């Protein structure tokens, strides 16, 4: 039995007829950019997240860097972000000339809110709360710190489509929520896509202007903007998937619950969900403190796919050498990079497939695998 780490074709097949009908309808409409599908998706996603406004964009990275640009954050400013975040989170900060200030993660693999205040300087302008792996940050503490220090809060919800913090969906708590619709995401598109959510009407209008070359009126450009538009086909397909998102998330929670209940190997550390939150389980990430490569090879021999999210923390990447960090600068993020392993987790995974993954992991013994 061959089991992929993530099977996108399987997920497409769950609702193939609906996707194909919508794609064909958009193609036949003759309108492919900033039309009724984008407008409808923006209304529906804002309603789902619980905000007044949503603006469709070309990617999650665009959502991040344009957010900081429109918040006026740039050269000489600092933004606090978790040290184990995906590198795109950091790029969203540095593309505007601002400096990332890294804070180590907690036991939930998200930013340790207890360490944020110590990282604040007179140059700090915002906190980027990254809801990594489908887990929620401690938004009560983050928002309290931000209010006390007059900071903006941007939520990176790229991996958290539909999970909650104390009854509110992530993406509705900070000043701006940033979403990616990359195909592997919970509400993934069939190509690239992204959006922002906010309750600030002026900010939403500024995003609409900026995404279209800085123009509200055709050929009247107010600023040097971007070409960052969610296209009509992707918006239409996202509208279809959004109809099923709660069911898709429920299925992922069932898969996660089974992993949590049945994985018994003592060489693993299983993920935990923060009190007051739920998880959309974008990834099911275990820690393997001493034998990750051996476990990966054991699973590979049995044709079980796994992934590492992420093998290189941003501060050690070649792209950010100029920041002056070195190995040992952020030991928790570095330790995580050597331990984390994402198990197969996708909609449409069968009970038989998951049982095989669980049994194969439970059989693993370092130095004794054949």
Distance of alpha carbon 71 from alpha carbon 317, whole angstroms: 27
The half-sphere exposure of 118 on its side-chain side, counting CA atoms within 13 A, is: 7
What is the mean pLDDT of the segment spanning 264-283?
97
pLDDT of residue 205 exceeding 90, the answer is yes
Classify domain 245-362 at the CATH topology level: 3.90.1150
pLDDT of residue 369 exceeding 80, the answer is no
What six digits make up the tokens of 245? Answer: 């998102």
Q: Report DSSP letters for 270-319, one per residue.
A: -----TTB----S-EEEE-TTTHHHHHHHHHHTTB--B-S-SS-GGGSGG
68: confidence class by pLDDT, cuts 50, 70, 90: very high
pLDDT tens digits, 69-104: 999 999 999 999 999 999 999 999 999 999 999 999
pLDDT tens digits, 286-334: 999 999 999 999 999 999 999 999 999 999 999 999 999 999 999 999 9
CATH number of 8-239: 3.40.640.10
Give the rounded percent of residues in the chain with a pLDDT score beyond 70: 99
Distance of alpha carbon 309 from alpha carbon 163, whole angstroms: 20
Distance of alpha carbon 185 from alpha carbon 179, whole angstroms: 9
What six digits make up the tokens of 136? Answer: 């929620």
Check residue 149 and give its pLDDT.
98
Task: List 180's β-bridge partners, or say none.
Answer: 194
Residue 197's nearest CA partner among 172, 180, 214 is 172
Distance of alpha carbon 124 from alpha carbon 358, whole angstroms: 45
370: confidence class by pLDDT, cuts 50, 70, 90: low
Check residue 367 and give its pLDDT.
85
pLDDT tens digits, 105-123: 999 999 999 999 999 999 9
- Mean pLDDT for the chain? 98
- Phi, psi (degrees; rounded to nearest 5) at 271: -70, 155
> Whole-prediction pTM value?
0.97
368: confidence class by pLDDT, cuts 50, 70, 90: confident
DSSP 158: T
Task: Indicate the domain borders of the chain.
Answer: 8-239, 245-362
258: confidence class by pLDDT, cuts 50, 70, 90: very high
Name the H helices within the chain. 8-14, 16-29, 36-49, 60-70, 87-94, 116-119, 139-149, 201-211, 232-262, 292-301, 331-339, 351-362
Note whether 8-239 and 245-362 share their fold. no
Distance of alpha carbon 209 from alpha carbon 225, whole angstroms: 8
- Phi, psi (degrees; rounded to nearest 5) at 128: -100, 105
pLDDT tens digits, 152-162: 999 999 999 99
Tokens 């055709």 label which residue?
218
138: confidence class by pLDDT, cuts 50, 70, 90: very high
């Amino acid at each position: 039995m061959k089991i992929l780490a993530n099977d996108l074709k399987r997920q497409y097949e769950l609702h193939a007829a609906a996707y194909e009908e919508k794609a064909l309808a958009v193609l036949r409409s003759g309108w492919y950019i900033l039309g009724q599908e984008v407008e409808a998706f923006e209304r529906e996603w804002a309603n789902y997240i619980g905000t007044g406004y949503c603006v469709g964009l070309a990617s999650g990275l665009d959502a991040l860097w344009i957010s900081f640009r429109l918040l006026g954050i740039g050269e000489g400013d600092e933004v606090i972000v978790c040290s184990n975040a995906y590198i795109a989170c950091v790029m969203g900060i540095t593309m505007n000339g601002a400096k990332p200030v890294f804070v180590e993660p907690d036991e939930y693999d998200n930013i340790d809110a207890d360490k944020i205040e110590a990282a604040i300087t007179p140059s700090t302008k915002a906190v980027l709360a990254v809801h990594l792996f489908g887990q929620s940050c401690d938004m009560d503490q983050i928002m309290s710190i931000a209010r006390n220090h007059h900071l903006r809060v941007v939520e990176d919800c790229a991996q958290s489509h539909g999970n909650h913090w104390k009854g509110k969906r992530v993406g509705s708590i900070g000043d701006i929520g940033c979403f990616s619709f990359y195909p592997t995401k919970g509400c993934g598109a069939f190509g690239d896509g992204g959006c922002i959510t906010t309750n600030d009407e002026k900010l939403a209008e500024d995003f609409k202007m900026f995404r279209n070359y800085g123009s509200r009126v055709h050929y009247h450009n107010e600023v040097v903007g971007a070409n960052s538009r969610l296209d009509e086909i992707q918006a239409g397909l996202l509208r279809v998937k959004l109809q099923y998102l709660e069911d898709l998330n429920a299925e992922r929670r069932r898969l996660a619950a089974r992993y949590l209940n049945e994985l018994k190997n003592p060489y693993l550390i299983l993920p935990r969900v923060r009190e007051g939150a739920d998880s959309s389980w974008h990834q099911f990430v275990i820690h393997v403190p001493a034998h990750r490569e051996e476990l990966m090879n054991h699973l590979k021999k049995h044709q079980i796919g796994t992934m590492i999210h992420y093998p290189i923390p941003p501060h050690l990447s070649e792209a950010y050498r100029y920041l002056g960090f070195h190995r040992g600068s952020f030991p928790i993020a570095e330790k995580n990079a050597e331990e984390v392993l994402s198990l197969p987790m996708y909609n449409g995974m069968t009970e038989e497939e998951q049982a095989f993954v669980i049994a194969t992991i439970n059989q693993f013994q370092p130095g004794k695998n054949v």
